[in-house]
Structure 1
């Protein structure tokens, strides 16, 4: 189907302010919303810093289903931005409510280029919600056209920020949303703790040195206590960490063996002066469920998240260890159900996958670092993941006890 293409292809988009042109003759409607973006002067997205003035419209099957929005677009992601298909950060001029999600200005498009199933990040959100996480970023599968070119299947996500309908905490100089950073890319403002671990402060915005020092000192005191044996005293961890948030956070990371979750990056926490450290929200699961970058991490056996940095020391607290074991035992059927739900999730994107892999025929490709394993077809990619999930569940069931997890 051709929308205004004959009349508008060689004209500036300003000549048709009510809609943006889209040609879906090669990549037909696939039962998902289409997000159409045009940057100013059709500028390319070359980095993660330059905010390019743009316009965006949402198409349904036969016609536009939204007004034309004004926004800026820039690249997003760490190593994933270097992939042929990359993520984008969207900042709208005004707050917008899209796909039934609460209105906001900030959203992201996640490319999932390194996950040939396109399901891992979506599965994380389902599991997080089922376990009652305090906040799980909402998302929606979409197809994206950028500057009149089809660029593929994406997940349209709420960005992680402080807001009433997102990370709902106070906005002041003594309440924080912060993220564990990777030394390869550290965003300002950031600080390093007693153990030289870098954290990026996402809220408050433009924090004072005094405010950053408050958070640094609290986390450093916590690290000093762990290193020097404080968590050997039963119940110590619970005085510092909110266990209701930590337990589902830990088990989603551990069950999936999420490589970034092994105290790499995308580990979000909140803390308010005088309160406990809260883990979450969960984020960034494309290299999980057997899709890890390093072969040594891909096996379904072994404890993974608990072996490094803070998590290693958490398990010195015997009461906390008891709680970890109890949580799995009480929620095991929820984890088992995730694999049973994959056929449903797959059905949501089944038609779009034809477009995606026509545009990006990578199923057997392993040339990019993110494309770990070759597959004959999509069925094999999904079945490989499902087999891994079943074996991972069984391994945990057969090895879960206070003695073996310690």
Structure 2
């Protein structure tokens, strides 16, 4: 079980990891977890909520995993680029193209098909266009006129998108720390401790809740030369998490021991899913499309589905949308990550000129 005392820096340099499959599983767990409130109205029977005495659901666990990994990778991204413009361009291209398409699809395809209003009333309703505010991340609207009013969880079109604002906000935190030369291991460690203390003191809401996970990932990246991946430590971390899950202190242990376990599984040489993302990164697509598809399934089956049935019916459809989103939207957008704005506009200008010339001929 011993990994020869190798530190995280060693495994990063090796460029082989299991982060893609971990994110895929986390996104799938969100879908699985949401099947319970969407079919029963609450999380009372959700398996992980039962295991932790209501302290945390599988969906909340998955979100914590996302933020830990994001904190690690985003800090690495800024550390390697040192350029705020390139940094934000890369981050924006990863979040917004897929989100924008999902929002437009919800308004102009899903809405007209499923609304119980007439098309005239639907498209003349101000709330239909207010849903566009969701693209900004900050002004979040969860319903569209006439959609899912009879569902067990009525009205909500996409209840998963709320975390994206906090994700993007933390991108700014990393950038500010980087530009001001404060992206330092000691400062970030203090930030993690402070966020954790404030959260357990009931201060800061989702900001301190999610930042303690995000900053845990930051800490693991900045201390990558000091933190060694050891199978015995990983096993001990798992045991501690199991014990705290049974005794009501799981949230205390997750941000520390859970973070260690995540990166052990991500980089451990004996766990090899390095090529899982070879054909695409579908986790984001699963995350943003699962909720509306699950609501559709609930409506189609007239609120008669069990949580497991909702998951089994929704997952393959969600995966299809995630694959299409990756190949048609997300992957195409990421091609511009390394391109300068000048080259992008130059290519667009040439394309337009060629189109005009072709039409003239």
Q: Name the TM-score, length of structure 1 as normaliser.
A: 0.22
Structure with greater proportional helix content: 2
Q: Which has the higher contact order (CA 8 A, sep 6+)?
A: 2
Structure with greater proportional strand content: 1
Q: Name the TM-score, length of structure 2 as normaliser.
A: 0.25
